[in-house]
Amino acid sequence: MSFMEREVTDKQAWFQIEGNSGTDCVPAWVVSYPRMHRLCLDATVTAQDFPRLFTLLQSYVKDYTENTSIEGITLIEGYGARLSAPGYMDCTPWTFFDSEREAEEYLDENYPDEDEDSE
């Protein structure tokens, strides 16, 4: 039995954060942005296009990303996949997918079960 367990979410809202360290996906419910219902799916908020909204969103998501310089924040909807250690804080970063099947396939390809390798 592996220490890390596979985890695939239900379809939900995510903040996709683009910055100097790449792309991070964070479940929207974790961020608790109070006006999320006003945001449009797949609309990227940048400092140039929406300076006040970008500054506000940036203050909400900054603790949930490895990016020290955030370039854009997009509200998206889909499925997340990662490995997580129940009862511990150990986990891989979330990876975002449009379908549950794609999320499962990603985990199969990138994190095969240890039991399958030993057979």
pLDDT band at 1 (very low <50, low <70, confident <90, very high): very low
Structure confidence by residue, pLDDT tens digits, 76-109: 999 999 999 988 889 999 999 999 999 999 999 9
**Beta strands, E only, the chain:** 5-8, 12-19, 22-27, 44-45, 70-84, 95-97
Q: Please report which residue ranges of 39-119 form alpha helices under DSSP H.
A: 51-61, 100-110, 114-118
| Residue bearing tokens 């990303």 | 65
From CA 68, how far away is CA 13, in angstroms rounded?
23
